[in-house]
């Protein structure tokens, strides 16, 4: 068990999970940048072929939902837990499902991975990505203003966290957690993006704001998602049953640094979540 190691040894042992968190959010940002540019950049043939911005936004939402699902169910996501979001990590800390020593490396990895993803898209697409209307895929308040954007970000974050925790805690439906998260992201992008740009993720918003040097509204996307997911975690605690682990998807094939599950001990203890025996 990692709890018996020194802090330095534990950090070194958990390095793959940190790297997979960085990789996952980095790939998510690459996907977001590529699809948004493809549908929204000036001169894009897709923008010309689909003049209705609502339809284009829905298609980007579907792409991002599928991307999230793919990452959650990927070997990397199954290994790290597929948080990809500091607000998610802090919510699991609130639930005491992630060790305090792992929290800062997880969050740092998410910020670094997201930023690298955005810079990679900038290198690949150039001004088509950085110019309006794509504009580094910044998350900004819509025409209804800052307060509406803050409330929307907090509400959506609470809803996402509450539902993800509810599904992951269920023996019957734990394996559907990634599907539910992806569907929510797709619907959020489609329906809510005009209000706040749809972030619900401090690292995602920072990844766009930092290279664009656009800091004015970044506080919304730091405070509201963290607050909202803390509310979602608290609602989950009040309702029960509590989530078994800090992984969105738990399978027998991957170790878990959060609950201590090791594949080599599978005959003695089943992992929590989707790999547990299910009641009919």
Q: DSSP letter string over 168-200?
A: HT-TTTGGGHHHHHHHHHHHHHHHHHHHH-S--
CB proximity list for 20: less than 8 A, separation 6 or greater:
76, 77, 79, 80
- CA–CA dist 107, 92 (Å, integer): 12
Q: Is residue 40 in a domain?
A: yes
Interacting residues of 116 by C-beta distance below 8 A, sequence separation 6+: 22, 26
Domain that holds residue 17: 2-275
Higher-confidence residue of 191 and 273: namely 191
Phi-psi map region of 247: left, alpha, beta (phi>0 left; psi -120 to 50 alpha):
beta
Which of 102-111, 229-238, 251-260, 269-278 shows the lowest mean pLDDT across its residues?
269-278
Would you state the pLDDT for residue 271? 54
DSSP H helices in the chain: 7-13, 15-40, 45-49, 53-73, 75-80, 86-94, 100-125, 127-130, 146-168, 177-196, 202-212, 218-239
Average pLDDT rounded to a whole number, residues 263-275: 54
Measure the CA–CA gap between 21 and 27, rounded to whole angstroms: 10
Task: Please state, rounded to an integer, the average pLDDT across all residues of the chain.
Answer: 92
Per-residue pLDDT tens over the stretch 40-63: 999 999 999 999 999 999 999 999
What is the rounded distance in angstroms from the CA atom of residue 102 to the CA atom of residue 245? 14
pLDDT for the residue numbered 3:
47
Mean pLDDT confidence for 100-118: 98
Q: Is residue 153 part of a domain?
A: yes
Q: Return the sign of the alpha-carbon dihedral for residues 199, 156, 177, 81.
A: positive
The answer to whether 56 and 39 have CB atoms below 8 angstroms apart is yes
| Total residues belonging to the chain | 280
Asked whether residue 136 carries a pLDDT value surpassing 70, the answer given is: yes
- Tokens, residue 32: 């977001």
> What's the whole-number mean pLDDT along residues 144-170?
96
- Summarize the confidence of residues 242-258 as an average pLDDT: 90
In a domain, 260, yes or no: yes
Residue 184 lies in a domain: yes
Q: What is the mean pLDDT of residues 216-224?
A: 97
**Do 213 and 139 form a contact (C-beta atoms < 8 A)?**
no
Domain count of the chain? 1
The pLDDT of residue 272 is 54
Q: How far is the CA of 110 from the CAs of 18, 22, 87, 189, 192, in angstroms? A: 8, 5, 11, 20, 23
Bigger pLDDT: 169 vs 63:
63
Residue 219 sits in a domain of what CATH number? 1.20.1080.10
Helices 146-168 + 218-239 axis angle, to 10: 40
Specify if 280 maps to a domain: no
* pLDDT, position 278: 35
User: Where is pLDDT greater, at 265 or 228?
Assistant: 228
Q: Say yes or no to pLDDT of 218 above 70.
A: yes
């Amino acid at each position: 068990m990692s709890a018996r190691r020194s802090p330095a040894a534990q950090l070194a042992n958990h390095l793959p999970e940190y790297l997979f968190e960085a990789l996952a959010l980095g790939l998510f940002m690459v996907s977001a940048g590529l699809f948004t540019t493809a549908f929204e950049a000036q001169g894009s043939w897709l923008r010309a072929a689909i003049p209705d911005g609502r339809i284009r936004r829905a298609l980007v939402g579907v792409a991002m939902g599928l991307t999230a699902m793919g990452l959650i169910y990927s070997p990397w996501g199954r290994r790290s837990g597929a948080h990809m979001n500091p607000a998610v990590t802090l919510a699991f800390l609130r639930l005491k499902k992630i060790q305090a020593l792992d929290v800062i490396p997880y969050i740092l990895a998410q910020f670094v991975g997201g930023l690298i993803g955005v810079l990679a898209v900038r290198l690949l697409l150039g001004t088509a990505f950085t110019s309006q209307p794509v504009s580094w895929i910044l998350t900004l308040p819509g025409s209804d203003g800052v307060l509406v954007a803050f409330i929307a970000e907090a509400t959506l974050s609470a809803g996402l966290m509450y539902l993800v925790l509810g599904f992951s805690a269920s023996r019957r439906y734990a394996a559907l957690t990634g599907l539910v998260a992806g569907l929510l992201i797709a619907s959020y992008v489609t329906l809510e993006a005009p209000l706040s740009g749809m972030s619900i993720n401090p690292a995602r918003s920072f990844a766009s704001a930092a290279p664009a040097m656009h800091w004015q509204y970044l506080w919304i996307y730091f405070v509201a998602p963290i607050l909202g997911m803390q509310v979602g975690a608290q609602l989950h605690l009040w309702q029960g049953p509590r989530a078994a682990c800090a992984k969105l998807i738990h399978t027998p094939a991957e170790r878990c640094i959060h609950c201590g599950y090791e594949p080599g001990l599978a005959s003695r203890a089943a992992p929590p979540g989707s790999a547990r025996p299910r009641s009919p």
